[in-house]
Amino acid sequence: MADPSFVRRIPEGDNLERLVCTDCGFIAYENPKVVVGSVCGWQSRILLCRRAINPRKGFWTIPAGYLELNETTMDGARREAWEEAYAKIEIDGLLAVYSIPRLSQVQLIYRAQLAAPDFAPGPETIETRLYEWSEIPWDELAFPSVRWALNHYRESANDKVIAPRSNPPGETGDTLPGGL
């Protein structure tokens, strides 16, 4: 059997161009990627990971990455903390939902605590470190959403029940730090 052939067109009853199979009419929808992660605290410090991969290799981030198929968002956040920092975490609640339209991403970021101060760089991480708030390398953060999440974590530090945050007013994540 031959591989199906797809063309971009607006299917009947739709208003957006989609990939449509020329043989059977199947519509291959392209949807945003879901990123899951967490801001992980230990006492008064926050866990950050220096990226070993692009994009933004060498810059600091929170443990986060793409959600896998058949995985809950909380399980994904726990997995990412383990993969990037060999850290076991206890999730307090959903901290924020960020929309990054330029990348077609939706990011779900949790507030979490390290189960123990045991961590080490994973395969996608050069270095892991606990930072006091005043020590965070703000000019070396990988993405705008990392800054947002850190600030939202601090804002919610005394909240027993977290009211999930979203992109700060006027922030769409359309540019990287330094205007990139």
CATH number for 22? 2.20.70.10
**Could you tell me the pTM of the whole model?**
0.91
Q: Tens digits of per-residue pLDDT, 78-101? A: 999 999 999 999 999 999 999 999
What per-residue confidence (pLDDT) applies to 174?
74
**Whether residues 117 and 160 fall in one domain:** yes
Domain of 124 in residue numbering reads as: 33-179
Q: Tens digits of per-residue pLDDT, 118-154? A: 999 999 999 999 999 999 999 999 999 999 999 999 9
**Whether residues 13 and 88 fall in one domain:** no
Evaluate whether 39 touches 95 at the Cβ level (below 8 Å): yes
What per-residue confidence (pLDDT) applies to 28?
93
**Whether residues 112 and 93 fall in one domain:** yes
Q: What mean pLDDT do residues 105-120 have? A: 97
**Whether residues 20 and 91 fall in one domain:** no
What per-residue confidence (pLDDT) applies to 173?
77
Query: 40 is written with which tokens?
Result: 């992980």
